[in-house]
Amino acid sequence: MGDLNVEAVERYRNNFLKEVEERVEEGHWVKMCMQCGVCSGSCPFGPHWAHPPQELFMMIRAGRREEVLTSDSMWMCTSCYNCVVRCPRQLPITQIMHGLATYAHRLGLAPKNQPTRKFSVLFWNNCTRTGRVNELKLTLGLYFSDGFIAGIKKAWALRHIGLGLLLAKRLNPFELIKGHGCKDKKGIHAMLKKAYEIENRRKGFSS
Amino acid sequence: MAKKEYAFYPGCSSQLRASAANYMVSVNSMCKVLDIKLTEIPDWNCCGASIGYAGSGELARHVLNARNFALSEQHLPGQDIVATCAACWLGARETKEKLAASSTLLADTQEALKEAGLTYKGEAEIRHMVEVLIEDFGYEELAKPVVKPLEGIKFAGYVGCQTNRPFGIAGESFENPMYLDKLVETLGGEAVTDYDQKVTCCGGALAFSEPEKSQKQIKDIVESAYDHGADMIVTPCPLCQANVEIYQSEINKRYGTKFNMPVTYYSQLMTVAYGGSVKEAGLDGQVIRARKLEEIAVKVVKK
Ligand code: SF4
Ligand code: SF4
């Protein structure tokens, strides 16, 4: 992982904007931002971000690579698309946030303990394993991501919620053994592998 | 033959034993009355949801959606794809638009799909269930089967984000969409028209990963419903439903509030208004029981 970062630094030297344009989803839009601040003002989690979208775009253009890629800000995006519908320049901000997060994760620079990063990885692995999400395994996976004791504590603290869902038949322990899944798992896995290969080639990742 | 037929994309949370299983129950009941035939896309897969991005990247996400499109075109040719989940609908719509706009992305997607023995033709339209109700039926048509108007119940119409942005329902504003209120009135209920949290984000997946922050959002959503005298909240989105309903007890602990506000689906309202039972409306799947709606559901209809 570290190598990917070294290689990227080499390849783009000091042109972080170019790097974002070429490697981050919808990154070519960043230069269109006119710094009006509407996105940051519209963002429900804005107050929690160290750097709301507008600021991240400014930092990208200023070449503050390290700071942007190690930030936990873009992980706080809830995909509510409020910024997207309001941006006067029609930037696909949500996708850029996800794209930045993905890229930082890929390079191994994203903060290791950012909870939404962990959840995002868990989610993707969960849904691609069988082709469908197993909500119970996903929830338990999240609870136990900090170890067994922490997991038990968390599950205990939220036991009323679990029980409520259980009684409403919206959660079922049976899912642990026999969850939902697609028949053609093999096809799905082959298809995703191909997709990664193609994307790596397009984005110029060496491996 | 049914009046209308659609290829159906249920999404993971609407499956049996999953968190929105009761949504599905009510959608099925509602569709029966309206003579809508939903046929599940054979072997459909997860849409990737909005939160899978760390591992997925761009292409893999589109490929997942494209597989569903290809399967639908193959097995249910000529039918629009209908999703009941806001996030599924949004993700699928986005993929559809991206593939139409970029020949490179389309070629890459086809190359990957080939590994699963599939090709995408680009024919099927992607629509949300409420889109279908409003556009293919219309309020007048939806009012016809009402046998038990939802009289005396005040609903705070909580549209949320993803059924509303960035695509939304045709002709509606992003800031103040009216369709849910209109739907409530169509069913004889009272819509709380000045409900100011109508399009607030519930925190989405961050309800799991960063609970304190999203619970603040949920608190505002529920509080405003109380402030405006609502009896319950109604929503078109399974994630909004789950988040706003199940975390109220946590919020009560954290903020000392006494929230106990039912959060229902539009399809549950429709099922009850159309004469369905508590069970048919999936009301037995509520964590916070929607008593007022149940009362109407058990009433005997005078013919
Ligand atoms: S709303 Fe658009 S133009 Fe304004 S700061 Fe945000 S991204 Fe830039
Ligand atoms: S989509 Fe993300 S960045 Fe945009 S307003 Fe919502 S949370 Fe903020």
- DSSP assignment of A63-110, as one string? T-HHHHHT-SGGGG-----HHHHH-TT---HHHHHHHHHHHHHHHT-S
The ranges assigned to domains in chain B are 4-129, 145-297
Tell which atom from ligand 1 comes closest to the C-alpha of A38: 1
Judged by CB atoms closer than 8 Å, whether chains meet at B112 and A194 is answered as yes
pLDDT band, very low/low/confident/very high, at B204 (cuts 50, 70, 90): confident
> What pLDDT sits at residue A129?
84
Do A7 and A100 fall into the same domain? Answer: yes
- With beta carbons less than 8 A apart as the criterion, state whether B167 and B93 touch: yes
**Same-domain pairing of A134 and A166:** yes
Q: Output Rg (C-alpha) for chain B, integer angstroms.
A: 19
- Structural domain of residue A82, as residue ranges? 2-107
Q: pLDDT tens digit string along B236-261?
A: 998 889 889 989 999 999 999 999 99
Q: How many helices (H) and strands (E) does chain A have?
A: 12, 0
Split at pLDDT 50, 70, 90, the class of A41 is very high
Could you report the per-residue pLDDT of B73-131, keeping only the tens digit for each?
Answer: 999 999 999 999 988 999 999 999 999 999 999 999 999 999 999 999 999 899 999 99
If you measure CA to CA, which chain B residue comes closest to A85? B166
Domain match, A132 and A157 both? yes
Whole-number Å distance between alpha carbons of B25 and B23: 5
Summarised one tens digit per residue, pLDDT across range B263-294 is: 999 999 999 999 999 999 999 999 999 999 99
Do A95 and A63 share a structural domain?
A: yes
Q: How many domains does chain A have?
A: 2
Same domain? For A122 and A96 the reply is: no
A120 and A29 assigned to the same domain: no
Q: pLDDT by residue (tens digit) across A110-142?
A: 999 888 898 888 888 888 888 886 666 666 656
Q: Name the more confident of B53 and A174.
A: B53
Residue from A43, A59, A89 whose mutation best tests the ligand 1 pocket (most atoms within 8 A of CB) = A89
Is A78 near ligand 2, meaning CB less than 6 Å away?
yes
With beta carbons under 8 A apart, name residues in chain A contacting B54.
Answer: 101-102, 105, 110, 117, 120-121, 124
Please report the ipTM that was assigned to this predicted complex: 0.92
* In a shared domain, residues A35 and A72: yes
Shared domain check, A91 and A12: yes
Say yes or no to pLDDT of A38 above 60: yes
Q: Is the pLDDT of residue B13 over 80?
A: no
CA A159 to chain centre: 28
Where does ligand 1 bind, in terms of residues with CB under 6 Å?
A 33-39, 53-54, 57, 87-89, 91, 93
Residue A165 shares a structural domain with residue A122: yes
- The mean predicted confidence, pLDDT, of chain B is 92
At the top level of CATH, which class does the domain B145-297 belong to?
Answer: alpha beta
Of the three residues A62, A91, A107, the one that is the final residue of a domain is A107
- Dihedral sign of CA atoms B118, B120, B123, B128 in order: positive
A96 and A124: one domain? no
CA of A36 to the centre of ligand 1 (A): 5
Least confident of A57-66, B161-170, B260-269: B161-170
pTM of the model: 0.91
Of A107, A127, A146, the residue that ends a domain is A107
Residues A78 and A147 in one domain: no
Instruction: Give the residue from A91, A107, A123 where a domain finishes.
Output: A107
Q: Which fold has domain B4-129?
A: Glutathione S-transferase Yfyf (Class Pi); Chain A, domain 2 (1.20.1050)
Instruction: Report yes or no: A100 and A29 within 8 Å, Cβ to Cβ.
Output: no
pLDDT-derived band at B224, boundaries 50, 70, 90: very high
Does residue A180 surpass a pLDDT of 80?
A: no
A20 and A78 share a domain? yes
